[in-house]
Structure formats: structure tokens, C-alpha cells
Amino acid sequence: MFNAGIFTFRPNNKTCKDMSEQKTKLQSYDGGDQGFLNSYFGDLKYSPMFNPLNLSTKERYQSLRLSAIYNYDIGMYYLSGRILVEPKIIHYTLVFLKPWIWWTYPMFDLNWRWLEIRGKMEQIHGREDDILSNILIEIIVIVALFGIYLVMALI
């Protein structure tokens, strides 16, 4: 089983057409894209691991799996209290605790690492959003939800 949050692919019209035909026939354990992709690429779990030092494997195999360093599950870090490998990609799988949500920073130390890398990317590529507006909107939503909670508690 693989996680569709992090994967790479090579576009292929034949595969795309076949996937479209199979979408109503294959079972999806979660009813979504990840479950469908796991059903469609059911043999992926038997594929060899991707090795960046051996690029000739891509000629012999249609699919290669990524190791944990390319899809490091943030939940594993918080369960074990340490990083087990030096990740190239950190996959933030905890639903409500994404690093771009400002109020998670006091609870999750790796969010600071994400913010540092984001800052470097913004220096290189520029910034497209207004973080102050985003924070203001989030504060308004939190205050509104708290107000609703208080009203409901009084009823």
C-alpha cells in the first residue's frame, strides 16, 4: 500500500485511458484517489526501491517505490520522538496540524523547520500570499467558533 500524498509519475495516455475505464470496476478502500491508485497499482508493493545512484533501474521496471526518506510521515516522528532517517520530503499527515496553520507552532517543533525552508523558497521564488491577511482571517474564524461555542453552552 502506498500513500498518494507523495508520489511521482510519468504521464502516459494508455494508462490514463485504462484508469478511466477501471474507475468504476476497481475497489477503493477509502472511496478516494488513494484507494483507487492502490487498487490500480496493486503490484507496486512488489516493485524495487528507487535508488538515485542506480538510474538504470527505471529502464527495467515500470514502477519503483520511494523509501521513507522521500515520504517521511510526520506522525512517525511524533510517535517515536525523533527522526529515524534524514528525510528529503516530510509528509505532514496529521490532518489539523499542518505547518502552514500558525497556531500549531507551539506544539510541533518540526513546523519551525518547515517555516525555515519556506522562507528560503520565498527568497528564491518570491511570495504570492499575504500572511497577515491569512492570520487575520484565521483569528476571525477562531473567535466566531468560540462565540458559537459560548452561545451553545448557554442554551
Q: Is residue 40 part of a domain?
A: yes
86 in the same domain as 43 = no
50 and 88 inside one domain: no
Which cell goes with 25?
470496476
Q: Once rounded to an integer, what is the mean pLDDT over residues 60-70?
A: 77
Could you tell me if 93 and 46 lie in one domain?
no
73 and 26 in a single domain? The answer is no
- Highest averaged pLDDT of the listed ranges 17-26, 53-62, 133-142: 17-26
Answer yes or no: is 56 within a domain.
yes
Could you tell me which residues are beta bridge partners of residue 73?
91
> How many structural domains are present in the chain?
2
The pTM assigned to this predicted structure is 0.57
Q: Are residues 45 and 77 in the same domain?
A: no
In which band, very low, low, confident or very high, does the pLDDT at 2 lie, cut at 50, 70 and 90? low
User: Taking residues 131-142, what's their average pLDDT?
Assistant: 81
73/120 same-domain check: yes
Q: 22 and 52, same structural domain?
A: yes
The residues facing 71 across adjacent strands are none
CB 3 within 8 A of CB 71: yes
- Strand, coil or helix: 24: coil
Range of the domain at 44: 13-60
Instruction: Let me know if residue 24 belongs to a domain.
Output: yes
Q: Which residues contact 7 (CB under 8 A, 6 or more apart)?
A: 37, 66
Model pLDDT, residue 64:
80
Q: Are residues 76 and 113 in the same domain?
A: yes
